[in-house]
Amino acid sequence: MIGLTRFSLKRPVTLILAVITVLFFGLRSVMNAPMELNPEMSLPMMVVSTIYPGASPADIDELVSKKIESEVSTLTGIKTVSVSSMENASTMLLQYEFGTNMDKAYINLKKVLDSVKSSLPKDAEEPNIIEIDMNAQSDIQLSVAGGTDGNLQDYVNTNIVPEFKKMSSVGSVSISGGQSSYIRIELIPEKLAQYNLAMSDIGNIISSADFSTPVGKVDYGRQSLSVSIGADYKDINRLKNIVIPLKTGDVIHLSDVANVYDALEEKNSLSRYNGEEVVSVAITKQQSSTSVEVSKQVNKVIEELKANNKDLTITTIFDSSKYIKESISDVFKTLIMAVILSMIVLFIFFGDIKASLIVGSSIPISVMVALTLMRAAGFSLNLISMGSLVLGIGMIVDASIVVLESCFRSKSDKNFFDSAVEGTGIVINSITGSIITTCVVFLPLAMLKGLSGQLFAQLGYTIVFCMVSSLFSAIMIVPLLYLFFHPVEKTDTLANRVLLKVQDSYRNTVKKITPKKFTVVGISVMLLVISFILAGNVGMVLMPESDDGQIAISVSVAPGLNIEDVDRIAKQIEDFVAADPDVENYQMTFGNSEMFSEKTGISITAYLKKKRSRKTKNVIQEWQPVLTKIPDTSISVKNQSNSSSGVSNRAVQINLQSTDYNLVRKTANEIVDKMHSLNYLLNVHSSAENAAPIVKINVDPVQAEAIGMTPGSVAGIVYQNLTDTEVMKYSSGDSTITVKMNYPDESYDTINEIENILITGVTGTKTPLSDLATVSFEDSAVTITRSDKKYQVSITADKVAGYKGDANSEADAFVDSIGLPNGVERATNAYNDMMSDEMTALLNALLTAIFLIFIVMAMQFESPRFSLMVMFTIPFSLIGAFGLLWLFDVPISMMSMIGFLMMVGTVVNNGILYVDTVNQYKVEMPLDDALVEAGATRIRPILLTTLTTIISMLPMALGYGTDMLQGLALVNVGGLIASTLLALLLLPTLYKMLDKAGKKLTGNHLEAGLDID
């Protein structure tokens, strides 16, 4: 590779033009690259949703969920099948193995569902397949108020939603809050009885009244015209006049047997912003669009809507693009800060501005090359890719520092051209080996298939881009600039004077400790043991929390509560949130899920002020014990950054499973009662502890048959009587008006009224329901959950604020001490399963990286013995890594595991440089002197490269820019500090020990230039 150095020195114009080209394309890449918060990710999951109106959870479980589950479980590639049976709906989550072709999986799943739908109840809707998209969370949330004297929800649906849906970048628009309007046909039971009419008779007449049918063609002049016939009912008056023929031959009108009027749907959802009633609008982008692009288009439409309606108030509650821009901006500032700090360190050490600029030139060139390659690879500017550049800043200059320092040492009586060539040639193998070891670390990362592979692939590739470009910059740009600017090393600077004293002190220290090999190794091992003890106290999470100032409050209310009581609870929580001085805004929603038909519970999102007195986690710790005391609720308070992961990450979660639902439910409730005595837990609940009261109607088949009916046909008539029946739809302007028919609301408020429903038999006789069935109250589970064909109940709890123990482990031990009855067993939860899978995958990648580093170094040294020496710095670097994680109270996570992966590639660099120098020096001097002088000679580049890397990561390690990457930076900073000290102090001892052992093994039969290790 020294030929590249000679080429650059002989062809400077070519190289300069190449650099200008790199800078040009790098700037274009920055300007054209899309901005996102995180890399695009996908999970191999699909949801099967089946609606069965009016069915209880138990009926859904038996008649729908089990039948679909038994067929779906036979599909290949499925890892787990989880199903929740709730009122009106079955929701099945299918998790596939990573790497599964989801297009083929969709086709196979569709075939199975098509075959099973014939065995489902006839009133059940066709199973619907929903593909999970991790990027499909709402990008913009708006609140709408005012703008109309009529119905606000209808106004939003008619005038606002269509405007957003027209945009090419918008994927979906959903609303919550308000009440939609419809036309209600309220039947008068006495009038129906008077005219001997049934509800079904009226429904059939209305449904067939509004029609349009082609009846042929006629010739009109030279044209052939199609003829259609029909009747339109476009307003209430026409509906009232619908003709109803009687069996006597007379006719009446609909108004004679029903009241027809405009009505509002029953209030089943709530939406408020800062306590004001609003309609909330959630906008989600197309997968091919960016959040920033959507935000620009949406804001433009909002301005147009406001201009057209001065009374309309549209408030942006949340705009992900704003958060993305702020996050990327913070990371960019961290990048600039890292560059400035690195340049300051270089100037302090070199004492010459020209030398500092020569080394610093590697930074913009390497960054621009990396940005160009990132754009070519299709990467966006996100927290991971931009954070990777910050992490790479310190490592970028390492090779350039070593080359320039070597050029200075080679100068003596040589000219600048010869010293540039010679100085680069001396260290070219060392820096190449160091960069290769750093790069091979990320090969296992690129091969990961799970969530970590999708999330961190860009990190690995970006750092590899930086490192490879820094190598070419070090062996081509640095020698050329050295030749152009003729920098002079200043030895009289403060840093050099300090460094000379450090070198002298180092020489004395190494001479004293090298013979004391057992003491040195013993102290190192003791520190390593202490670091593992500290590691056991830092905890473990899947992803670190970020202090975004958003708090998610999820409230499950007691089953059966009416909307008025739910509203009262919501207002109580809203008042508490609004009273906090650190809260800027808050949003509350309650209502039906868009995906399913069950109520989703109260959801409150609090947005904290940017300038606040407390961190987000401190606010959560203060709110949680207060809110969990509200009766008739189960409340979870957590950081919004972790609230949408799709799996629970409560402080304590214990899952029980059994083939007998009643047994596992009883067991869980008994354990919950006992766990209430644990003073370190609060908000202890079971997913099956509350039963929803329902009215159960058991039809006697014999009695039903006596009037020519079946239990199913009886159920259909009862359903029609108790539920609004949609009988017609018609268009009015831009709106579609729904017409529904039912009896007055108060018709069936008691058991007696239900029992008196008249069932018309095939002969026309009317029989009370009480003669055909028993009607009674019964408790029913709110949700019945099954996982892999076993019923599952979850016990969840939160840890008391300030409790330092491991609440989850202690709760586990408590449950184990209670014991479980036969037929009930423990089950893992989804969060722990995912964390275990991802951590195991990253650990395997880490071990693979260590193996590859060993191979690369053994090839470089042509000796596994020297490779093994350097490898000793890896475990001992954990002393600093675990120490800093413990000191900053940062848990081990996927991010910090990536930090360990990076660390093993960086901490060996100083060891490589030291061992390579010892190997060169021992040819000219005794081994003991070589061990001392190698460290003293290389202490400057070792300290300089380490300091630039540490200082460039320091802002991120302190949590500036983004909290997400703090654990990664802390691991690297701590590991570099520990490995640097060990490389300089422990390696001399290890080198001497292993060199002596190697000579014994080979019997001192080493040929010149050949190592038989």
Collect all residues with Cβ–Cβ distance below 8 Å to 84 and sequence separation of at least 6: 90, 91, 92, 783, 784, 785
Helix (H, G, I), strand (E, B) or coil at 528: helix
Q: Which residues pair with 732 in a beta bridge?
A: 735
Q: Is residue 412 part of a domain?
A: yes
**Mean pLDDT confidence for 44-59:** 86
Percent over 70 (pLDDT), the chain: 94
**56 lies in some domain:** yes
Using pLDDT thresholds of 50, 70 and 90, give the confidence band for residue 580: very high
641 pLDDT tier (thresholds 50, 70, 90): low
Percent with pLDDT over 90 in the chain: 6
pLDDT tops 80 at residue 257: yes
Structure confidence at residue 578 (pLDDT)? 93
* Residue 379 belongs to a domain: yes
Q: What residues make up the domain containing 90? A: 45-131
The pLDDT of residue 516: 82
Residue 594, pLDDT above cutoff 50: no
pLDDT band at 68 (very low <50, low <70, confident <90, very high): very high
871 and 971 fall within a common domain: yes
Per-residue pLDDT, 734: 64
Residue 73 placed within a domain: yes
pLDDT given for residue 615 in this prediction:
86
Give the contacts of 790 (CB within 8 A, at least 6 positions apart): 657, 658, 659, 827
Quick one: which H or E segment has residue 896?
helix 894-921
pLDDT bin (cut points 50, 70, 90) of residue 827 is confident
Asked if 439 and 343 touch (Cβ cutoff 8 Å), the reply is no
Residue 547, pLDDT above cutoff 80: no
Question: Which of 446-460, 487-501, 590-604, 774-788 bottoms out in mean pLDDT, i.e. has the lowest?
Answer: 590-604
Task: Sort strands 211-220 and 735-742 into parallel, antiparallel or unpaired.
Answer: unpaired
Residue with the bigger pLDDT between 645 and 614: it is 614
If you average pLDDT over residues 811-819, what whole number do you get? 88
Q: If we measure between CA atoms, which residue out of 45, 37, 288 comes closest to residue 171?
A: 288
Q: Which of 190, 208, 201 is nearest to 257 (CA)?
A: 190
Domain boundary at 86, 115, 131, which? 131
Burial class (CB in 10 A: 0-12, 13-18, 19+), 112: middle
Q: How confident is the model over 723-772, as pLDDT tens digits?
A: 788 888 877 666 778 888 888 887 887 888 888 888 888 887 888 888 88
How confident is the model over 512-523, as pLDDT tens digits? 888 887 887 788
Alpha-carbon dihedral of residues 316, 321, 327, 329, nearest 10 degrees? Answer: -110
pLDDT level of residue 1008 (50, 70, 90 thresholds): very low
Q: What angle do CA 369, 370, 374 make, to 5 degrees?
A: 120
Question: How many residues in the chain?
Answer: 1013
- The SS3 assignment for 177 reads coil
- Say what the pLDDT of residue 690 is: 66
Asked if 329 contacts 299 with a C-beta cutoff of 8 angstroms, the reply is no
Q: Are residues 9 and 62 in the same domain?
A: no
Indicate the residue among 75, 96, 131 that finishes a domain. Answer: 131
1011 pLDDT more than 50: no
Q: Helix, strand or coil for residue 994?
A: helix
Tokens standing for residue 895: 């991010």
Asked whether the predicted pLDDT for residue 40 surpasses 60, the reply is yes
Q: In CATH, what number is assigned to the domain containing residue 432?
A: 1.20.1640.10
Neighbour tally for 1007: CB within 10 Å:
7
In a domain, 703, yes or no: no
Asked if the model's pLDDT at residue 300 lies above 80, the reply is yes
Quote the pLDDT of residue 1000. 59
For the residues 487-493, what does the mean pLDDT come to?
75
Q: Does residue 754 lie in a domain region?
A: no
CATH number of the structural domain spanning residue 81: 3.30.70.1430
Dihedral sign from CA coordinates of 951, 957, 962, 965: positive
Say whether both 399 and 483 belong to one domain.
yes
| Residue 596, pLDDT score | 41
Distance of alpha carbon 369 from alpha carbon 364, whole angstroms = 8
Q: Are residues 429 and 527 located together in one domain of the fold?
A: no
Tell me: do 869 and 965 sit in the same domain.
yes
Do 399 and 525 have their domain in common?
A: no
pLDDT in tens, 659-670: 998 899 889 989
pTM: 0.71
| Structure tokens given for 591 | 């209502």
Helices (H), 117-262: 152-155, 161-165, 189-194, 199-209, 236-240, 254-257
**Average pLDDT rounded to a whole number, residues 821-835:** 81
Residues 486 and 358 both lie in one domain? yes
Confidence band for 1007, pLDDT divided at 50, 70 and 90: very low
Whether residue 485 lies inside any domain: the answer is yes
pLDDT at position 524 over 60? yes
Our CA dihedral for 829, 832, 835, 838, rounded to 10 degrees, sits at -60
Same domain membership, residue 470 and residue 395: yes
Asked which of 66-70, 730-734, 878-882, 930-934 is least confident by mean pLDDT, the reply is 730-734
pLDDT band of residue 692 (cuts 50, 70, 90) is low
The 10s digit of each residue's pLDDT in 400-448 is: 888 888 888 887 777 888 888 888 888 888 788 778 877 888 778 777 7
* Together in a domain, 378 and 484: yes
- Which tokens go with 682? 């609060």
Same domain assignment for residues 83 and 12: no
Burial code (b: 16+ CB inside 10 Å, e: under 16) for 371-381 equals: bbbbbeeebbb
Secondary structure of 557-609 as H, E, C letters: ECCCCCHHHHHHHHHHHHHHHHCCCCEEEEEEEEEECCCCCCEEEEEEEEEEC
Chain centroid to CA 196: how far?
Answer: 61
- For the ranges 153-162, 450-459, 670-679, the lowest mean pLDDT is seen at 450-459
- Residue 851, pLDDT > 80, answer yes
Kindly report the average pLDDT of the chain as a whole number.
82
| Residue 34, C-beta contacts closer than 8 angstroms, at least 6 positions apart | 290, 292, 293, 380, 381
Indicate whether 593 pLDDT > 70.
no
pLDDT digit string, tens, across residues 72-109: 988 888 888 999 888 788 999 998 888 788 889 999 99
Average pLDDT over residues 29-36: 79
* Residues 243, 374: Cα–Cα separation, whole Å: 71
- Confidence grade of residue 1001 (pLDDT, cut at 50, 70, 90): low
- What pLDDT score does 134 carry? 62
The pLDDT value recorded for residue 109 is 92
Q: How confident is the model at residue 999 (pLDDT cuts 50, 70, 90)?
A: low
Task: Quickly state the pLDDT bin for 576 (edges 50, 70, 90).
Answer: very high
Nearest to 967 by CA among 980, 958, 976: 958
Who wins on pLDDT, 905 or 111?
111
pLDDT at 886 over 70: yes
User: Tell me, what's the pLDDT at 646?
Assistant: 42
Query: What is the total count of domains within the chain?
Result: 3
Asked if residues 241 and 255 have their Cβ atoms less than 8 Å apart, the reply is yes
Predicted pLDDT at 874: 82
Per-residue pLDDT averaged across 377-383, rounded?
A: 82
Residue where one domain finishes, among candidates 474, 490, 506: 490
**Looking at the structure, do residues 369 and 499 belong to the same domain, yes or no?**
no
CB atoms within 10 A of CB 249: 6
Residue 31 within a domain: no
Residues 406, 522, single domain; the answer is no
